[in-house]
Amino acid sequence: MIINAILRYPTNQTDLNLTIYIYKPYFNGKNAYISTSNYATSICSYSFPPPPQPLVSPFWRRNQDDVTPELNDDTVRSMAVAAVFSDFGGKISSLDFHRTSDLLVTASEDDSVRLYDIANGKLLKTTYHKKHGAESICFTHHSNSVICSSRYNLDSRESLRYLSMYDNRCLRYFKGHEKRVVSLCMSPINDSFMSGSLDHTVRIWDLRVNACQGILRLRGRPTVAYDQQGLVFAVSMEGGAIKLFDSRSYDKGPFDTFLVGGDTAEVCDIKFSNDGKSMLLATKSNNIYVLDAYGGEKRCGFSLDPSPNTAIEATFTPDGQYLVSGSGDGTLHAWSIRTRNKVACWDNYIGVASCLKWAPRRVMFAAASSVLTFWIPNPAKPTTEPGNTHAEAGKPEQTT
């Protein structure tokens, strides 16, 4: 007697069916045979509910068909939550979009690294890293590999790992930092990347070699960023100072240093606009500045509600015309850099957004606390008033 269990999804995927069959062999005088058609008897059958699906708005697909349409005030104002992923076991500490593929990766306090398809609003893969944890994360040029900093076991000096998301392997350890890595950035033009650590060093690495290629020693908590052409990188240091380096000759020291209008608060986020003309700074005092990337002059600045336990993140839109940021009161804000006017203020219902980035190829941004949300334009949302709007205007519905 042979017992076999068959698992199958019906085409509508409403239930998972488990059916157990008993196959009775028969003997023809010489050989024994098993027929799945005539001699199989079903002895029991069970139905299970399908796995939980993320909350995805019905207007998700309609708005994701077109890549990088033009932005204007009405489009930015119409942004609304289209997908919600709430199955994290802790705060999301970092997220990153791939530069050329429709992918997003997150690192969380629950030791997970998760890969998402942003074109369809779905989770593709989850891996757990219990030995080292996961804190800062960024994509390499390959869509299936990431660089991830460790949260635990830092005494082993395995503070950075080069991970393959395809087969969940660690391709290389990068040893050197003695404390947590708090800033991570991949060069847009080659296999170099930078890391800033609480050990007061910035290290330059090459993906192909586990030894550090260069080191900068400085005061304070460093934040690092490459410009979009990969020719210049910026490093923040104690007292709010920003130093600019030529990435091809950083050993000669910074070619420019500037302060932000007397604000000596620690800089926790640096980003360059895609055209390389502007630089965004977010400070621990929840002030956001947009600077001229060439001379350091302040173009505009915005103050937000304090968030004592969470450093906020801000982001440029791909065209460099708008700025989006979280705030200490749990709202999200958008400004026009050209006019310096606030375009929108949204309630996001997930608390203070510790991570916020705009997708490089789509009219979409991701905001995260212990919940991950995807935002896209909602054509049904009113866009006449630039004041406080509600994310629930595009409230997602449970998919089946």
pLDDT tens profile 209-247 = 999 999 999 998 999 999 999 999 999 988 888 999 999
Task: Name the burial class of residue 49, with classes exposed (0-12), middle (13-18) and buried (19+) by CB atoms within 10 angstroms of its CB.
Answer: exposed
Statement: residue 390 has pLDDT above 70: no
The encoded tokens of residue 362 equal 């789509």
What pLDDT is stored for residue 392 in this prediction?
43
The 16-23 sheet, strands edge to edge = 2-8, 16-23, 40-48
What pLDDT is stored for residue 154 in this prediction?
76
Residues facing residue 356 across a β-bridge:
367
What's the pLDDT tens digit per position in 6-55? 444 333 333 444 444 444 554 455 554 444 444 444 444 444 444 445 55
What pLDDT is stored for residue 203 in this prediction?
97
Which pTM was predicted? 0.81
Task: Name the burial class of residue 334, with classes exposed (0-12), middle (13-18) and buried (19+) by CB atoms within 10 angstroms of its CB.
Answer: buried
What pLDDT is stored for residue 238 in this prediction?
85
What pLDDT is stored for residue 260 in this prediction?
77
Low-confidence winner among 155-169, 170-184, 335-349 (lowest mean pLDDT): 155-169
Contact 92, 137 (CB under 8 A): no
The encoded tokens of residue 377 equal 């334009």
User: Domain 55-398 falls in which CATH fold?
Assistant: Methylamine Dehydrogenase; Chain H (2.130.10)
Q: Which residue has the higher pLDDT, 180 or 379?
A: 180
What's the pLDDT tens digit per position in 323-334? 999 999 999 999
Q: Which residue has the higher pLDDT, 9 or 168?
A: 168
Residues 6+ apart with CB under 8 A from 189: 229, 230
Statement: residue 258 has pLDDT above 80: yes
What pLDDT is stored for residue 116 in this prediction?
98
Contact 71, 344 (CB under 8 A): no
What pLDDT is stored for residue 246 in this prediction?
96
Domain spans in the chain, listed from the N-terminal domain onward: 2-48, 55-398
Q: How far is CA 159 from CA 64, 236, 250, 326, in A?
A: 37, 21, 23, 29
Statement: residue 56 has pLDDT above 90: no
Q: How far is CA 380 from the centre of its chain?
A: 27
What pLDDT is stored for residue 400 in this prediction?
27
Q: Which residue has the higher pLDDT, 395 or 233?
A: 233
Mean per-residue pLDDT, 337-365 = 94
CA-nearest of 97, 188, 225 to 105 is 97
Low-confidence winner among 67-71, 161-165, 221-225, 230-234 (lowest mean pLDDT): 67-71
Q: What percent of the chain has pLDDT over 70?
A: 76
Q: What percent of the chain has pLDDT over 90?
A: 65
